């Protein structure tokens, strides 16, 4: 579901259908789902901190890579990362320009466009490969790949200040998902879960400390980041087809904590999405009645917020939860979600992901 910010950036690139971005994504919908980790399957998409994106948009006039929503296409992960962490760097500017020009050329059908597209695509890949190595969490990711979770935790928590530690944990999650190149393979999921456990422990400890302190802007921002971490843990953990009982419990607890924080912070759009995520965990656990209740609540709140993609996703999820108990209503819900997705003409990558999920059901 699209996460909206209080203030939208000045510019945003067109959101492209993920199926058209990479020829390897064509074919079996299950294969596409494994490749596109941002797809809202059982686990949802990754969230970026809204205030961080706003700060980027406010301080940089060259923020052409800032997305209209903080959800993003997997092919644009490096660009998104650079835009949020180093918007004024020369390489960020170049990557933004190359990406914008590449998107324009790909929309044209001509021999000249095809030739220039190949050259720009090669430059984009070279820039991304260089920037991946320079990523602030690259050291932690290397430790994780080597199976040294303790080393990764030390690299992250050695940042000292809570806001930096929380940020590095979030980037570590995103880097594993988008830079590790293994999709939802057992090894990638294992790496994610390995770093998720100490991240959640850190969040629990910090949240306890924050609850004992007066409410401040900084403390509220920290709680928002904790909620995002909890959401992302739930999101990625339940993404694979098979999840262990222990990991599923971890994901469910994380989703419920994220919902509790969002409710305390009185953030209606985030509460709506958090309830949807809790429902996803219940659905994965086979608790269909509980999942249905969560999806019905998210649907009611999305309707109140007039959030079209939220309504569509809630109806699609309700269709899955009610497939056995009320197949007629499930069919109607899925039909409504499909109609919204097919008629949508805005810029919201989550709707592209919804189309992929609907295609997988055909």
Q: In this predicted model, what pLDDT tens digit does every residue of 230-246 receive, in sequence order?
A: 998 998 888 888 899 99
- The string over 198-214, giving b where at least 16 C-beta atoms fall within 10 Å of a residue's C-beta and e elsewhere, is bbbebbeebbeebeeee
Q: Which sequence spans correspond to the domains of the chain?
A: 136-360
Q: Which of 17, 303, 34 is nearest to 318 (CA)?
A: 303
- Residue from 26, 40, 54, 84 nearest 349 by CA: 40
Q: pTM (2 decimals)?
A: 0.74
86 token code pair: 């180093």
Task: Tell me the fold of 136-360.
Answer: 1.25.40
Question: Tens-digit pLDDT profile for the chain (362 aa)?
Answer: 433 333 322 222 222 333 333 323 333 333 333 333 333 222 233 343 332 322 222 222 222 222 234 445 566 778 777 776 777 788 888 888 888 888 787 777 665 567 778 888 888 889 888 887 666 667 788 888 888 989 989 988 987 888 889 988 888 887 777 766 555 667 778 888 999 999 999 999 999 999 998 888 989 989 998 998 999 899 888 888 889 999 999 999 999 999 999 999 999 988 999 999 999 999 999 999 999 999 999 999 999 999 898 999 999 999 999 999 999 999 999 999 999 999 988 767 677 778 878 887 77
Helix, strand and coil content of the chain, in percent to the nearest 5, comes to 70, 0, 30
Within the chain, how many helices (H) and strands (E) appear?
A: 16, 0
Token pair of 68 as six digits: 């209209």
pLDDT digits (tens, 9 = 90+) for 319-328: 999 999 999 9
């Amino acid at each position: 579901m699209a996460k909206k910010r209080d203030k939208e950036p000045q510019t945003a690139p067109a959101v492209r259908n993920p199926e058209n971005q990479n020829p390897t994504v064509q074919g079996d919908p299950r294969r596409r789902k494994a490749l596109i980790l941002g797809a809202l399957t059982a686990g949802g998409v990754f969230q970026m901190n809204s205030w961080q994106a706003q700060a980027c948009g406010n301080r940089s006039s060259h923020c052409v890579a800032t997305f209209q929503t903080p959800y993003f296409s997997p092919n644009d992960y490096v660009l998104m990362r650079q835009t949020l962490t180093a918007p004024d760097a020369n390489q960020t500017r170049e990557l933004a320009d190359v990406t914008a020009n590449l998107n324009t050329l790909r929309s044209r059908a001509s021999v000249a466009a095809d030739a220039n597209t190949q050259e720009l695509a090669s430059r984009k890949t070279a820039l991304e490969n260089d920037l991946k190595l320079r990523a602030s969490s690259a050291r932690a990711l290397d430790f994780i790949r080597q199976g040294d979770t303790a080393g990764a935790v030390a690299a992250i928590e050695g940042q000292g200040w809570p806001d930096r530690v929380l940020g590095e944990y979030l980037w570590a999650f995103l880097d594993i998902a988008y830079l590790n190149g293994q999709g939802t393979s057992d090894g990638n999921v294992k790496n994610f879960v390995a770093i998720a456990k100490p991240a959640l422990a850190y969040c629990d400890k910090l949240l306890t400390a924050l609850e004992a302190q007066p409410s401040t802007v900084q403390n509220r921002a920290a709680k928002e980041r904790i909620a995002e971490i909890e959401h992302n843990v739930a999101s990625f953990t339940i993404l694979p087809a098979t999840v262990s009982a222990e990991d599923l419990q971890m994901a469910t607890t994380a989703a419920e904590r994220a919902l509790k924080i969002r409710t305390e912070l009185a953030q209606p759009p985030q509460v709506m999405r958090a309830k949807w995520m809790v429902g996803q965990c219940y659905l994965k656990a086979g608790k269909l009645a509980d999942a249905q209740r969560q999806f019905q609540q998210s649907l009611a709140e999305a309707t109140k917020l007039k959030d079209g993609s939220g309504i569509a996703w809630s109806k699609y999820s309700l269709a899955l939860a009610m497939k056995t108990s009320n197949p007629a209503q499930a069919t109607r819900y899925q039909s409504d979600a499909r109609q919204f997705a097919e008629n949508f003409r805005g810029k919201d990558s989550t709707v592209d992901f919804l189309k992929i999920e609907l295609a997988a059901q055909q």
